[in-house]
Structure 1
Amino acid sequence: MPLTSENETSQSFQSSPKKTSIIDDTYDEDADPDYTLGHDAIITEEDDGSGISSLSELSEGEEISDDDTSTYSEDDQKLVDHKGIFGTGSRMASQSSLDMIVRTHDRFRTFIHEQEIPRKLLHVVIGFVTLYLYTLGYQSKDVVKQIGIAGVFVYSLDLLRLNWKLFNKAYCFVVGFLMRENEVKSVNGVIWYILGCMITLLYATKDVSIMSILLLSWCDTAASTVGRRFGYLTPKIARGKSLAGSFGAFVMGIFACYFFYGYLAPQYPQFNKEFLWTAQSSYLSLNALALLSGFIAALSEGIDIFELDDNLTIPALSGIFLDATIKLASK
């Protein structure tokens, strides 16, 4: 577009209405989150007759070249540069803030991915769901049936996605945040989880089954979390296993036993008739059983049997060890 002449520009200055001066000590820009200067705003000098120059915008439709500095003084230029009136300082600050936010989000996403936060949350929630079903009076055979149906459904999806690349891509897009990289082209870990829970529910008593699922749900999560954080400080005891992780499983196993046998079960005595362990029927005290549960959790988590999935081996081994030990200590 053509530049306006100097006379036209001067006339526009005289005819334009007086704008509120930006140099207003009573106005706090920082206190006004909605304060912005128009993208096309051009600041000029206007004399109000009092000898004090103020800054105002050119009226809409008027233009001035980027290198035309005849309309404002050197002092105003310094003020413009200092205040960032042309947006340079503001844009730089905004870009810096944006970069910082992006870096923070990237680090957060990396942390979530490395620590498998969604997967661990699912593990932990399953333990609480198990306890909730117990408080409602569900029997093992009822839960096995429902879990079996879920297992058939998940396995069918796996067969479909592993033989249909397009469906696998869509499947991973939806639930990929719960999967590990090696599960993209192999069996989903959920299937092993379901199978492990079904095994212990089928052969063990109600209390042993619940404890086995808790050791899988909570202790495996604790072992993974502690192992990833402190595993480099301790010796490795198996493939992908560290002493630090086993210690995390040990502590959580003790907590799970106290929480279930010591706190929750006494509140629902009507559902405890099938329990294998009771304080009256066993030589094992609650404290001894808690320590035993911790050792079993650490052992089951640390053992690597033919590189089978932990979701299968932990509940199965935990159920076997707990069942055998409690029976040996029964009166």
Structure 2
Amino acid sequence: MASIPSTPKSSVKKSSPFNLSSPNVRSISKKTIVTLNEEDVSYIEDEDATYYNETTAYSDDDELDEDLDEDDEDDEEEDENLEVEKIDKKNIIIISDEEELQGDTIESKTKTYIPQPHSKFYQFLIKHEIPRKTFHSSIGFFTLWLYTLGTSTHQLIAPMFTILVLVFANDFIRFQNPSLNRKIVKYMWFIIREKEVNEYNGVLWYLIGLIIVFSILPKDICVMSVLLLSWADTAASTFGRQFGKYTPQISKGKSLAGSIASFIAGIISCYILYGYFIPTFTEKVDLPGEIFWTEETSSLNLFVFSLFCGFIASVSEFINLFDLDDNFTIPVLSGFFIYGLVNITRI
């Protein structure tokens, strides 16, 4: 079992508004403790870093021995660089190796914490980002539903821009008010990533990318770019997280396993849109010229075109474009790549 740091005895320096107070520090042995261990964690896709890495977790109901073994005390003395992140009275303490415990003082250099629920079930949900990925994937289904209603891409630009402004305003305001930020993070723990606690939400990049695509590209390619962002990206991060450690790394935080998953999801997405939805609904919902790719106007049949779309999904997912958020790069790159492919292969 990983060693547990001894309980600090004196006051805490308040170098951050989120430092532990003295009462909380003294009751540290009664709180949930999570130690970080880099050795056995599964491969994590770059944009999907988990909220915390854990190897040992104790709930508030677990009783920790008051006296540590001599071996544990020896190990504790060897850990010179530890980081203690701020946690409120009902949440956990995360310990990593970037913070110093100097005597009886905890120097807090971390940002706002991500509250962690004690239930193992909820910890499982957060570790694998199930709520966030469910929401991410649902956008694809919602987009297909809008397509069946005959909604044009230009009709969606104004609502997306409105949401963009609201999300930006929310982030800007919470960054100016640490107390408010802490409350928002506490109640939105199921969808906010750790890196978004003190940085702008990835939803902003998502919306900016889609607004650009929806403003320029044809209707069917816009829908396709959403499906690749919603489904191919989710498949890449999910399978990359689980199996990426067994395959070569293509780029920073991007594994071959994730790219293969993205490729397959891209093929399936293409077949769903061009093999079912467009043939079924185009006469009811599409205006003349709104559908850019058809087998009649292309030198590629649906099978070959879907293979190209899968490849484009994979390439768009692992390309790192100036370290921009992939919620922006995936729809923009995939949309313009598919648009160029259709133009090149047009009869």
**TM-score normalised per structure 1:** 0.67
Out of 188, 191, 199, the position equivalent to 2:201 is 188
- Note the residue ranges of structure 1 that are not aligned, 5 or more in a row: 1-97, 100-104
1:298 and 2:298 aligned: no
Match of 1:224 among 234, 237, 240: 237
2:34 corresponds to which residue? Answer: none
AA in 2 matched with 1:324: G
**Which of these residues, 216, 221, 225, is aligned with residue 208 of structure 1?**
221
Determine whether 1:167 maps to 2:183.
no
Question: For the residues of structure 2 that align with 1:293 and 1:221, how far apart are their CA atoms?
Answer: 16
- Measured in 2, the distance between the counterparts of 1:160 and 1:196 equals 23
- Cα offset, 1:110, TM superposition: 3.1
Task: Quote how far apart the aligned CAs of 1:111 are.
Answer: 2.4
What is the DSSP-based 3-state SS (H/G/I as helix, E as strand, rest coil) of the residue aligned with 1:120? helix
Q: Distance in 2 between matches of 1:225 and 1:189?
A: 17
Q: Aligned partner of 1:308: which letter?
A: L
Aligned counterpart, 1:320: 336
- Tell me which stretches of 4 or more aligned residues in structure 1 moved more than 3 Å: none
Q: Provide the secondary structure at the position in 1 that maps to 2:250.
A: strand
Aligned match of 1:264? 277
Which letter does structure 1 place at the counterpart of 2:314? A
Aligned amino acid, residue 336 of structure 2? I
3-state DSSP class of the match of 1:119? helix
Query: Partner residue of 2:267?
Result: 254
Partner of 2:189: 176
Separation in structure 1 between the aligned mates of residue 149 and residue 163 of structure 2, nearest angstrom: 20
The one-letter code of the counterpart of 2:276 is Y
- Structure 2 distance, partners of 1:108, 1:295, is 36
Instruction: Provide the TM-score with structure 2 as the length reference.
Output: 0.64
Aligned to 2:94: none
Per-residue deviation, 1:288: 0.9
Cα distance in 1 for residues equivalent to 2:243 and 2:338: 28
What is the Cα-based RMSD across aligned positions, in Å? 1.4
Q: Residues of 2 paired with 1:277 and 1:262: CA distance?
A: 12
CA distance in 2, matches of 1:208, 1:278: 12
- AA partner of residue 301 (structure 2): S
Residue 115 of structure 1: how far off its partner (Å)? 1.2
- 1:106 CA displacement: 4.5
Q: What letter is aligned with 1:292?
A: F
- The structure 2 residue matched to 1:235, chosen from 235, 239, 248, is 248
Which amino acid counterpart does residue 303 of structure 1 have in structure 2? I
Asked which structure has the greater RCO (Cα within 8 Å, sep 6+), the reply is 2
Which digits, 9 at most, give the CA deviation of each residue in 1:73-121, with x for residues without a partner? xxxxxxxxxxxxxxxxxxxxxxxxx98xxxxx84433322221111100
Q: Does residue 1:308 correspond to 2:324, yes or no?
A: yes
CA deviation map 1:21-66 (0-9, x unaligned): xxxxxxxxxxxxxxxxxxxxxxxxxxxxxxxxxxxxxxxxxxxxxx
1:110 is matched with which residue: 101, 115, 123? 123
Which residue matches 1:21? none
User: Bigger radius of gyration, 1 or 2?
Assistant: 1
- Among 276, 299, 319, the residue aligned to 1:283: 299
Q: Distance in 1 between matches of 2:320 and 2:149?
A: 35
Which has a greater percent of helix?
A: 1
Separation of aligned partners in 1, 2:189 and 2:120 = 19
Cα deviation, residue 173, structure 1: 2.0
Identity score, percent: 44
Distance 2:309 2:134 in 1: 22
Query: Residues of 1 paired with 2:308 and 2:154: CA distance?
Result: 27
Q: Deviation per CA, 1:133-176, whole angstroms, max 9, x where unpaired?
A: 11101111101111111111111101101111121112112222
Amino acid at match of 2:224: M
Partner amino acid for 1:260?
Answer: L
Alpha-carbon deviations, 1:171-208, whole Å to 9, x = none?
A: 11222211110100000011111111111111110000
**Which residue in 2 is equivalent to 1:123?**
136
C-alpha separation between the residues in 2 aligned to 1:275 and 1:310?
26
Figure out how many residues of one structure are paired with residues of the other and give that number: 229
For 1:144, the equivalent position in structure 2 comes to 157
Equivalent AA in structure 1 for residue 180 of structure 2 = F
Q: For residues 156 and 171 of structure 1, what CA distance do their matches in structure 2 show?
A: 13
